[in-house]
């Protein structure tokens, strides 16, 4: 499915931010492990969370969705069970890594598969610590297909993350929770803490501290979790596309409600405000242990900045759309320390560079980042432009937003991947004044 941008637009209105993909997957996994009655509201009905739900149902979770989109987890009379068919996680790296932790901790005999993109992504960063814990995992040189065999994990495990990764941390925590093991994780800097917040919300015995500048998470072996209805806050990574659209376009102002404001995820707002973005945070509150708020965004004159160091893990998923903002900011933006982008759904640094080369945006790409020479002027395009999504939802949406600053329509190829994380992107972006044509 290709999508083509329009040149007639005026971004404005009020929209609700779609549910957070990371939280949606985590609440299914932890909810299924609790094996109690629970309702989940605000769940993101994207392909990634649905792949995780299907995988959990394959091992006996019994998760259902009603006609209004509410998700129901029920109490089952049986424990999780082995499955002869591979658990297919589709395109979901989060789902695969977290399910590896969960099923290793439970002690099941299973295999995993995924689509072509997921099958090319490295999983050793999760497989290695789980194997150290005692899991019996076989893979194809650290990639799919992956199989696990039932074993007992160590009753106490300490692991220091060589590279900051919320998915690795969460996988180990889930393995410890499922096996009743004491787990201590040391991370060089704090990464997304959705798992810790969710475990705390359900009553887990988990403590977080810091020492010598490092973040330390300790999970007890004794945890009596109690289910309660859960509301998923909006995904700030999805909101970022709407925010940048309002900042760089003809916009009289855009309000985005129910945006997750977890401190480990708000780096994108800090980066944009550093660039001069006019973003007002309103109605701050807590939903199921996660902070959220409403955002009011107004068209802004942006400037180039440097983004590097500690903020990078906090904005790693938003760098593609931040690069679009940088392309239409005055002056140079330098992004460094982001080598992680080369092993996402695509080599995102290369994908950004490829798209910029086609659009004529001055830039230089290097091993761990990119420099972008921006301009607030619209891009003068005289002939049809086609940009590859590289089968990556964030690349596809980012360059569709770039179309707001082009004098002629551009076509982004292979946009079906958008449905993995933002299933109503086309309808929502249309509702605020930007039509996309299939």
Task: Name which of 366, 45, 316, 47 is nearest 166 in CA terms.
Answer: 316
Q: Among all chains, which residue has been given the structure tokens 């990764």?
A: 165
- Are the C-beta atoms of residues 237 and 46 closer than 8 Å to each other? no
Q: What torsion do the CA atoms of 399, 414, 45, 286 make, to the nearest 10 degrees? A: -20
- Are the C-beta atoms of residues 382 and 408 closer than 8 Å to each other? yes
Half-sphere exposure of 379 (CA within 13 A, CB side): 28
Q: Name 31's Cβ contacts closer than 8 Å, sequence gap at least 6.
A: 38, 40, 63, 73, 227, 230
Active-site residue, from 115, 193, 317, 391: 317
Residue 20 known to be catalytic: no
First to last CA, the chain: 7
- Are the C-beta atoms of residues 272 and 307 closer than 8 Å to each other? no
Sheet holding 182-187, edge to edge: 156-160, 182-187, 214-219, 206-211
Residue 334: its H or E element: strand 331-335
Q: Name 239's Cβ contacts closer than 8 Å, sequence gap at least 6.
A: 17, 256, 259, 295
Task: Name which of 82, 25, 76, 20 is nearest 50 in CA terms.
Answer: 25
Task: Name which of 348, 430, 436 is nearest 394 in CA terms.
Answer: 348
Q: Which sequence positions are flagged as catalytic?
A: 317
């Amino acid at each position: 499915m290709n999508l083509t941008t329009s040149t007639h637009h005026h971004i404005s209105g009020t929209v609700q931010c779609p549910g957070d993909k990371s939280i949606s997957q985590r609440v299914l996994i932890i909810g299924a492990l609790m094996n109690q009655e629970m309702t989940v509201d605000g769940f993101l009905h994207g392909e990634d969370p649905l792949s995780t739900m299907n995988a959990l149902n394959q091992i006996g979770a019994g998760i259902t969705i009603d006609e209004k989109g509410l998700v129901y987890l029920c109490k089952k009379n049986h424990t999780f069970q082995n499955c002869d068919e591979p658990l297919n996680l589709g395109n979901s790296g989060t789902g695969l890594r977290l399910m590896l932790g969960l099923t290793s901790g439970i002690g099941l005999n299973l295999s995993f598969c995924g689509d072509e993109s997921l099958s090319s992504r490295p999983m050793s960063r999760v497989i290695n610590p789980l194997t150290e814990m005692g899991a019996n995992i076989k893979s194809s040189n650290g990639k799919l297909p992956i199989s696990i065999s039932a074993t007992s994990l160590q009753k106490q495990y300490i692991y220091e993350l060589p590279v900051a990764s919320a998915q690795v941390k969460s996988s180990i925590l889930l393995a410890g929770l499922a096996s009743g093991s004491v787990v201590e994780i040391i991370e060089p800097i704090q990464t997304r803490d959705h798992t810790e917040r969710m475990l705390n919300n359900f009553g887990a015995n988990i403590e977080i501290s810091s020492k010598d500048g490092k973040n330390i998470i300790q999970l007890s072996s004794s945890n009596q979790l109690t289910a309660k209805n859960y509301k998923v806050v909006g995904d700030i990574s999805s909101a970022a596309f709407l925010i940048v659209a309002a900042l760089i376009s003809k916009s009289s102002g855009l309000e985005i409600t129910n945006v997750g404001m977890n401190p480990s995820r708000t780096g994108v707002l800090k980066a944009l405000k550093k660039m001069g973005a006019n973003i007002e945070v309103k109605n701050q509150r807590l939903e199921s242990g996660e902070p959220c708020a409403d955002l009011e965004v107004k068209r802004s004159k942006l400037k180039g900045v440097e983004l590097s160091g500690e903020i990078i893990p906090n904005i790693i998923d938003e760098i593609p759309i931040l690069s679009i903002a940088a392309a239409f900011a005055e002056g140079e933006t330098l992004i460094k320390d982001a080598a992680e982008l080369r092993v996402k759904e695509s080599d995102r640094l290369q994908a950004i560079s490829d798209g910029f080369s086609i659009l004529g945006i001055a830039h230089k790409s290097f091993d761990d980042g990119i420099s972008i020479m921006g301009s607030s002027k619209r891009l003068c395009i005289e002939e049809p432009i086609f940009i590859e999504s590289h089968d990556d939802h964030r690349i596809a949406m980012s360059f569709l937003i770039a179309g707001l600053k082009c004098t002629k329509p551009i076509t982004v190829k292979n946009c079906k991947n958008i449905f993995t994380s933002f299933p109503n992107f086309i309808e929502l972006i249309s509702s605020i004044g930007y039509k996309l044509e299939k």
